[in-house]
Structure 1
Amino acid sequence: MDVLDETTEILGTEPAGIARACELLHAGKVVAFPTETVYGLGGDARSDSAVAAIYAAKGRPRFNPLIAHLPDLETAETIAVFSDRARDLARRFWPGPLTLVLPLRPGSGISDLVSAGLDTIAIRVPAHPVARAILKAFGGPVAAPSANPSGKVSPTTACHVVEGLAGRIAAIVDGGPCAVGLESTIVQLDPPMLLRPGGLAVEAVEAALGLSLPTGGDAAKPNAPGQLKSHYAPGAAVRLNATERAPGEVWIGFGPDCAGADLNLSLTGDTTEAAARLFGALRAADRIAGEKGARAIAVAPVPDAGLGRAINDRLIRAAAPRPEDPAHPCPAHP
């Protein structure tokens, strides 16, 4: 990635910090801020230059679309066309960790870079009070992927953002740790399809729709974020479904039957707790691996239900061979 040589301000969540964040956004700068899922890297979704700055800061491929964040459903309807089914889901789950992929409304003013040239737009109304304050004060749609270098572990604290993007972005609003810890669940409608499991259990969406959601998406031509085969990756290789530590590994456990694990996502086997801790645990394990000269991070099995489905989605992508090194010695996984 090219160095952007920004001076990165660290802002608080008091009115002055919110006002400064909005001032920078209006000036076409990019600002990281907390949502209930992960920290987002925000830019004015109506500005080609601001959105281009997001891609540049992250080193993100421009064929990978972004999510536009809005303060409320009323504002969301100005940039996307809602069916009755989409409106019902929005009323049930917004604000919250659900992203809807809907037809882009003609004349919305959204930069083509946000949608990667598609005729659909991914939109969300976040629940975090700091995100909501920024969006309300800014008064327009904010494109905001996760605030980390593309393909790397997503950030759930301001310190994580500093580690990956300090000097590359204008500011970081420090709102403390993110409560959910996984990116939003992404659903396409008409026809309904799951594009990414996330911080809202898929079962809850299916119950609201009264149907099972088939899984869609294309790693070669993504129509929503989080579909690339290799993503969320720490520096060390990742081995999945590890019931014990092999020589030269750092072991992340799950549940009470992982005695001796270096870290544990949830000692009680709670997938909600595990989701909130996942990205922090991957970062911590990566540090331990570097200190010990370990070759890999091993992760215990996590049940594939509720938020466990989203956890496993992130782990499978973290364990995939890295695109910059197809021969990456990643241990086999199912």
Structure 2
Amino acid sequence: MSQTRLLPADDTGKDGAAAILRAGGLVAMPTETVYGLAADARSDVAVARIFEAKGRPRFNPLIVHLPDIATARRLVKWDDRAEAVAQAFWPGPLTLVLPLAENAGLSPLVTAGLDSVALRVPAHPLARDLLLRFGGPLAAPSANPSGRVSPTEPAHVMEALNGRIEAVLDGGPCAVGVESTILGLTHDTPRLLRPGGLPAEALAEVLGAMPQPPEAAAGITAPGQMTSHYAPRGRVRLEAIAPEPGETYLGFGPLPAGAEGAMTLSASGDIVEAAARLFHCLHELDRAGAERIAVAPVPDRGLGRAINDRLRRAAAPRGGPESTSYAP
């Protein structure tokens, strides 16, 4: 394949991206969370190309991106809980996992053989416009090689996938910076399958109770449940109050004195800023050649749950079948 094209965020760029998708190609599109690697979710060949470009295991399902709630209702067995949370939080950084409807028309590669599917209506105006111009559902995991740090800027995608995909639609930096929250609604008990850009507390206000964690023995039932992911090249140590010799420090709040080359997720300790900067900082540490990274404690509440989830996966043992990447 020739060099990947960087398409502008104008009508010419959006029409060009839609044409590539209709031809079975791959386009990295911006969402409010991270950049997603989009392909026609109805085409086996196009979806297979996502797995090939990323080096992604095929047992890991993908999120399907849609333009509106009405389209979602046609693809799954919809219920009152789905209607309530969709009305409250779509478009936005929330993915719903629901039982797949008969004759939904999606490639079985999207669901990895499961009888459920993950759906999202993104809020980013470019993603929404592209979905309307394309005129169909788009499967879109994060636009990065499997197991690596998720992309939040066009440059991150170009560095990682240049020559492996057709184009990147340039929407600038992503505002949320961590992937979507995934809520499982396949059974009577709502389950938080992945913390993300929508805090679980917000879901609890609509559902009437906090969603429960995934069932321990359920296996992989949604994107984002693999052990090792979001990994920079350097090894990661968590809950570090200060760096040890040879470590580069990634702080939360003011940095300790004398921490050479250190970065902070948020100098003021703002959890929203920290979420937006997390993957940016990990990319910068890669560019700086950091071999060992010490990460400060981050409060485990609100968006902090999503940050800590990503950090734990970044610090997990690497290699083997559990190293993969997830959807936005």
Pick from 34, 42, 46 the counterpart of residue 46 of structure 1.
42
The answer for the alignment partner of 2:326 in structure 1 is none
CA-based RMSD of the aligned residues comes to 1.6
Taking the aligned partners of 2:82 and 2:182, their CA distance within structure 1 comes to: 12
The answer for the alignment partner of 1:310 in structure 2 is 306
Taking the aligned partners of 1:218 and 1:165, their CA distance within structure 2 comes to: 34
1:86 and 2:82 correspond: yes
The answer for the alignment partner of 1:174 in structure 2 is 170
Pick from 147, 165, 184 the counterpart of residue 151 of structure 1.
147
Taking the aligned partners of 2:152 and 2:275, their CA distance within structure 1 comes to: 11
Give the letter aligned to residue 244 of structure 2.
A
Taking the aligned partners of 1:87 and 1:324, their CA distance within structure 2 comes to: 39
| Alpha carbons of structure 1 residues 172 and 184: separation in structure 2 relative to 1, 3 Å | same
Taking the aligned partners of 1:109 and 1:6, their CA distance within structure 2 comes to: 31
Asked if the contact 1:218–1:227 (Cα under 8 Å) also holds between the matched residues in 2, the reply is: no
Q: Which runs of 5+ in 1 are unaligned?
A: 327-334
Asked if the contact 1:217–1:224 (Cα under 8 Å) also holds between the matched residues in 2, the reply is: no
- Structure 1 counterpart SS, 2:75: coil
Residue 218 of structure 1, CA deviation: 6.7
Taking the aligned partners of 1:168 and 1:257, their CA distance within structure 2 comes to: 39
Which structure has more relative contact order (CA 8 Å, sep 6+)? It is 2
The answer for the alignment partner of 2:30 in structure 1 is 34
Give the letter aligned to residue 148 of structure 2.
K
Q: How does 1:91-170 map to 2 (within 5 A)?
A: 91-170=87-166
TM-score normalised by length of structure 2:
0.94
The answer for the alignment partner of 2:238 in structure 1 is 240
Taking the aligned partners of 1:125 and 1:229, their CA distance within structure 2 comes to: 26
Taking the aligned partners of 1:224 and 1:258, their CA distance within structure 2 comes to: 39
| Alpha carbons of structure 1 residues 317 and 236: separation in structure 2 relative to 1, 3 Å | same
Asked if the contact 1:158–1:172 (Cα under 8 Å) also holds between the matched residues in 2, the reply is: yes
Q: How does 1:178-327 map to 2 (within 5 A)?
A: 178-189=174-185, 190=187, 191-216=189-214, 221-256=219-254, 258-261=256-259, 262-288=262-288, 290=289, 294-324=290-320
Q: How does 1:38-77 map to 2 (within 5 A)?
A: 38-77=34-73
Give the letter aligned to residue 191 of structure 2.
M
Residue 75 of structure 1, CA deviation: 1.0
- Structure 2 counterpart SS, 1:269: coil
Residue 116 of structure 1, CA deviation: 0.3
| Alpha carbons of structure 1 residues 104 and 325: separation in structure 2 relative to 1, 3 Å | closer
Residue 6 of structure 1, CA deviation: 4.2
Residue 295 of structure 1, CA deviation: 3.4
Asked if the contact 2:178–2:197 (Cα under 8 Å) also holds between the matched residues in 1, the reply is: yes
- Structure 2 counterpart SS, 1:64: coil
- Structure 1 counterpart SS, 2:74: coil
Taking the aligned partners of 1:30 and 1:129, their CA distance within structure 2 comes to: 19
Asked if the contact 2:246–2:292 (Cα under 8 Å) also holds between the matched residues in 1, the reply is: yes
Taking the aligned partners of 1:94 and 1:325, their CA distance within structure 2 comes to: 33
Residue 212 of structure 1, CA deviation: 1.8
Residue 214 of structure 1, CA deviation: 1.4
| Alpha carbons of structure 1 residues 201 and 40: separation in structure 2 relative to 1, 3 Å | same
Give the letter aligned to residue 227 of structure 1.
Q
Structure 1 segments (4+ residues) deviating >2 Å = 217-221, 256-261
| Alpha carbons of structure 1 residues 236 and 220: separation in structure 2 relative to 1, 3 Å | farther
| Alpha carbons of structure 1 residues 220 and 259: separation in structure 2 relative to 1, 3 Å | farther
Q: Give aligned-pair identity as a percent.
A: 60
The number of residue pairs the alignment matches comes to: 318
| Alpha carbons of structure 1 residues 260 and 216: separation in structure 2 relative to 1, 3 Å | farther
- Structure 1 counterpart SS, 2:14: helix
Give the letter aligned to residue 286 of structure 1.
D
Give the letter aligned to residue 40 of structure 1.
G
Taking the aligned partners of 1:144 and 1:219, their CA distance within structure 2 comes to: 27
Q: Which runs of 5+ in 2 are unaligned?
A: 323-328
